[in-house]
A and B are shown apart, each in its own frame.
Chain A
Amino acid sequence: MNAWQFSPRRVGLIARVTFLEARRQRLLPLLMLGAAGLELGAQMLEEFNFGLSELKFIADLGQGVAAFFGSILAIVASAQLFFREIDERSALTLLAKPVRRSEYLAGKFFGIMAVISLFCVLMTALIIVMLWSRETALMHGRPELWERGRHLNYAAILAVGFAHWLGLAVLVAFTLLIASFAQSSLFTVGVSLGVLVICQLQFLAQEAYAKAGTLGGRWVAGFIALLFPNFQVFNLGDVTGVEGEIGVMLLARVTGYALFYVGVAGMLAVFCFKRREI
Chain B
Amino acid sequence: MLVGLGISGIPARWLEMPLWKELHIPQPQSRADSRPGGLVQGISLGLFGGLRALLADLLWLRVNLSWERRRVPDTLAYLHLVTAVDPRPLIFWLNGARMMAYDMPSWRIENLAGRDGPVTGLRERIEAEQTRLALAWLDEALKSHPASAAIFIERANLQLNCRRDPAAAAADYRRAAEQPDAPYYAARLHAELLRRVGRKAEALAWLVELHPRLPQGEEAAAAGLVLSRIRELEEELGVPSEQRYLPRI
Taking beta carbons and an 8 Å cutoff, which residues of A are in contact with B? 48, 50, 53, 56-57, 60-61, 63-68, 164, 177, 181, 197, 200-201, 203-204, 207-208, 211, 223, 225-233, 235-239, 241, 244, 250, 253-254, 256-257, 260-261, 264, 267-268, 271-272
Contacts of A207 in B (CB 8 A): 30, 32
Instruction: Give residues of chain B (1-48) contacting chain A, Cβ–Cβ below 8 Å.
Output: 1-2, 4-6, 8-13, 15-16, 19-20, 22-23, 26-27, 30, 32, 42, 45-48
Q: Flag if B30 contacts A230 (CB, 8 Å).
A: no
Q: Flag if A235 contacts B50 (CB, 8 Å).
A: yes
Contacts of A223 in B (CB 8 A): 6
Closest chain A CB from B175 CB (angstroms): 24
In the complex, what distance in Å separates the CA atom of A60 from the CA atom of B12?
29
Q: Flag if B15 contacts A260 (CB, 8 Å).
A: yes
Closest chain B CB from A242 CB (angstroms): 10
Contacts of B240 in A (CB 8 A): none
Q: Which of B10, B26, B32 contacts A208 (CB 8 A)?
A: B32
Contacts of A63 in B (CB 8 A): 50, 53-54
Contacts of B11 in A (CB 8 A): 260
Known: A233-B23, A268-B1. A261 touches B54 (CB 8 A): no
Closest chain B CB from A166 CB (angstroms): 12
**Chain B interface category by residue count:** 35 or more
Contacts of B55 in A (CB 8 A): 64
Contacts of A164 in B (CB 8 A): 50
Known: A260-B11, A264-B5. A201 touches B57 (CB 8 A): no
Q: Flag if A233 contacts B16 (CB, 8 Å).
A: yes
Task: Classify the interface of chain A: helix, strand, loop or mixed.
Answer: helix
Q: Which of A56, A65, A227 contacts B6 (CB 8 A)?
A: A227
Known: A57-B57, A68-B50. A181 touches B1 (CB 8 A): yes
Contacts of B70 in A (CB 8 A): none
Contacts of A208 in B (CB 8 A): 32, 42
Smallest Cβ-Cβ distance to B2: which chain A residue: A227
Q: Which of A61, A65, A201, A272 contacts B47 (CB 8 A)?
A: A201
Known: A61-B54, A61-B57, A233-B16. A271 touches B1 (CB 8 A): yes
Known: A60-B57, A233-B23. A68 touches B12 (CB 8 A): no
**20 new A-B pairs (CB below 8 Å) besides A53-B89, A60-B56, A237-B53?**
A60-B54, A61-B54, A63-B50, A63-B54, A207-B32, A226-B6, A226-B12, A227-B2, A232-B20, A237-B50, A238-B52, A238-B53, A250-B23, A253-B15, A253-B19, A257-B12, A257-B16, A260-B8, A264-B4, A271-B4
In the complex, what distance in Å separates the CA atom of A67 from the CA atom of B53?
12
Q: Which of B8, B20, B47, B60 contacts A264 (CB 8 A)?
A: B8
Contacts of B16 in A (CB 8 A): 229-230, 233, 257
Contacts of B237 in A (CB 8 A): none
Closest chain A CB from B35 CB (angstroms): 14
B88 adjacent to chain A (CB < 8 Å): yes
Smallest Cβ-Cβ distance to B42: which chain A residue: A204
Which among B5, B26, B91 has the highest number of chain A CB atoms within 10 Å? B5
Q: Flag if A67 contacts B51 (CB, 8 Å).
A: yes
Closest chain A CB from B6 CB (angstroms): 5
Contacts of A67 in B (CB 8 A): 49-51
Q: Flag if A64 contacts B12 (CB, 8 Å).
A: no
21 A–B contacts from the bound complex (CB under 8 Å): A53-B89, A56-B89, A60-B53, A63-B53, A64-B54, A66-B50, A68-B51, A177-B1, A200-B49, A203-B20, A204-B45, A204-B46, A223-B6, A226-B6, A230-B16, A233-B16, A238-B88, A250-B22, A260-B8, A267-B4, A268-B5
Contacts of B50 in A (CB 8 A): 63-64, 66-68, 164, 235, 237-238
Q: Flag if B19 contacts A233 (CB, 8 Å).
A: yes
Chain B 45-80 near chain A by CB (<8 Å), digits 1 or 0: 111111111111100110010000000000000000
Q: Flag if A197 contacts B15 (CB, 8 Å).
A: no
Q: Flag if B4 contacts A268 (CB, 8 Å).
A: yes
Q: Flag if A232 contacts B49 (CB, 8 Å).
A: yes
